Amino acid sequence: MRSLSVVSIESPAGLSTHGCGAGDEPLLLRACRGEHVERVPVWFMRQAGRSLPEYRDVRKRADLFEICRTPELAAEVTLQPVRRLDVDAAILFSDITLPLAAAGIDLKIVAGVGPVIAEPIRSAADLRRLRPFDPDRDAPYVAETVRIAVAELDRPLIGFAGGPFTLASYLIEGGPSKTHARTRQMMYGEPLLWRRLLDALADIAIASLRSQITAGAQAVQIFDSWVGVLDPDSYRDFVLPSARRIFNGIADLGVPRIHFGVGTGELLPLLAAAGADVVGVDWRVPLERARARLGAEIALQGNLDPALCLAPWEVLAERVTAVLDRGGNTGHIFNLGHGVPPETSPDALRRIVEHVREHGASRQATADAEWDALGV
């Protein structure tokens, strides 16, 4: 696996480890580094919020951005799935568009729609509205949320940022898009403006991630959720340089870096080439095929179809087992192929976590029996 040069970042008081083994390092971090682990670690994208009743109770008191901007509330929501589900990592509760709003963009989260931009960016003059992002000045509440959460955790906290294509699409389209037509129009038709926009977004991501890591995040994920709309040549020419800029911009901090997008089967090697240590795989690509495309040096994350969370337990358990068998115990993190559907029962998620743990225990017991039979 790719070697990560770990620099010393002082751990906040109260932070210990979860699922530790060799070197007292958490399972998640060892899996990110491509080590063979006694069981596969598990967490879920969008585990904080949406499907949890305790999160819905918080939402009765505050909207999404109010929660994100209130460290005590954001930390509470970050910790909720750890308490209920006993996953192997927490992920910061925030939103990929939050730094855009903090950097001068008139942006609102509209229920049932998503982020809506009042004045989309479609010209060089528009781009001037996106000013440089200073986490200490513009969004100090994010680092404070990280500090509060890690002080309560006994497992890693994952920080995150939005990928350059996905954020650019929101800014150019004015909100979510099924076709990303205006986005690709700028990409192909105004490549210099496109590059300026993506580099600005990369710099925002770097500043945000460095602040989160310094505050205590032990791994980070780049969510470039919609980049799967592109073909490999377009990604290589128009997105990869800015994605690489992000990964290079945090490389010196030594934390594992995860790269994720939906529908990216043909882009997997390029997602790794940006500098990722772990590549998220959606449910469309079998893990053994992803492993063949990426090689042994890149860890995999995924890749249960999120819709299976709504299936009968017998069906769900069988598919969880299949993902675990395909991923193996070396360089694999169990997750969904995208986020938790909001109608998912928390009990289903808890049973998945328990099944992943039981599968690991069973696999270890089998291995021990084989060694015993050999007299080792």
Q: pLDDT by residue (tens digit) across 330-350?
A: 999 999 999 999 999 999 999
Contacts of 20 (CB under 8 A, 6+ apart): 26, 27
Q: In angstroms, rounded to a whole number, what is the distance separating the alpha carbons of residues 87 and 256?
A: 18
Contacts of 320 (CB under 8 A, 6+ apart): 304, 334, 352, 355, 356, 359
Which domain CATH number covers 87? 3.20.20.210
Strands of 128-202, DSSP E: 157-162
> Is residue 213 within 8 Å of residue 159, measured between CB atoms?
yes
Whether 180 maps to a domain, the answer reads: yes
Residue type at 176 in one-letter notation: P
pLDDT tens for the chain, residues 1 to 376:
444 433 333 333 333 345 554 457 999 999 999 999 999 999 999 998 889 999 999 999 999 999 999 999 999 999 999 999 999 999 999 999 999 999 999 999 998 899 999 999 999 999 999 999 999 999 999 999 999 999 999 999 999 999 999 999 999 999 999 999 999 999 999 999 999 999 999 999 999 999 999 999 999 999 999 999 999 999 999 999 999 999 999 999 999 999 999 999 999 999 999 999 999 999 999 999 999 999 999 999 999 999 999 999 999 999 999 999 999 999 999 999 999 999 999 999 999 999 999 997 766 545 444 444 555 4
Local structure of 267: helix, strand or coil: helix
The residue from 59, 284, 326, 351 that is catalytic is 59
The residue from 95, 138, 203, 277 that is catalytic is 95
The residue from 33, 84, 138, 170 that is catalytic is 170
**DSSP conformational letter for 50:** T
Q: In angstroms, rounded to a whole number, what is the distance separating the alpha carbons of residues 63 and 83?
A: 22
Domain that holds residue 197: 29-373
**Angle ∠(284,87,82) on CA atoms, nearest 5:** 130
Local structure of 109: helix, strand or coil: strand
Whether 7 maps to a domain, the answer reads: no
The residue from 46, 244, 350, 351 that is catalytic is 46
Local structure of 279: helix, strand or coil: strand
Whether 244 maps to a domain, the answer reads: yes
* Count of structural domains, the chain: 1
Whether 248 maps to a domain, the answer reads: yes
Q: pLDDT by residue (tens digit) across 43-96?
A: 999 998 889 999 999 999 999 999 999 999 999 999 999 999 999 999 999 999
46 catalytic residue (yes or no):
yes
User: Rounded to whole angstroms, what are the CA distances from 81 to 105, 137, 157, 282, 319?
Assistant: 31, 30, 12, 22, 22
E strand or H helix at 114: strand 114-117
The alpha helices in 190-334, defined as continuous H runs, are: 191-215, 232-238, 240-250, 268-273, 287-294, 313-327
- Residue 367: the pLDDT is 43
Whether 313 maps to a domain, the answer reads: yes
> Is residue 350 within 8 Å of residue 47, measured between CB atoms?
no
- Residue 370: the pLDDT is 45
- Residue 374: the pLDDT is 53
User: Rounded to whole angstroms, what are the CA distances from 204 to 250, 258, 366?
Assistant: 12, 17, 48
The residue from 2, 50, 350, 363 that is catalytic is 50
Residue type at 357 in one-letter notation: R
Whether 14 maps to a domain, the answer reads: no
SS3 of the chain: helix, strand, coil, percent, to 5: 50, 10, 40
- Residue 7: the pLDDT is 30
Between 191-215 and 164-173, two packed helices, what is the crossing angle to 10 degrees?
Answer: 120
Respond yes or no on whether the N-terminal peptide bond of residue 329 is cis (omega within 30° of 0).
no
Whether 235 maps to a domain, the answer reads: yes
- Residue 360: the pLDDT is 79
Contacts of 137 (CB under 8 A, 6+ apart): none
Whether 4 maps to a domain, the answer reads: no
244 catalytic residue (yes or no):
no
237 catalytic residue (yes or no):
no
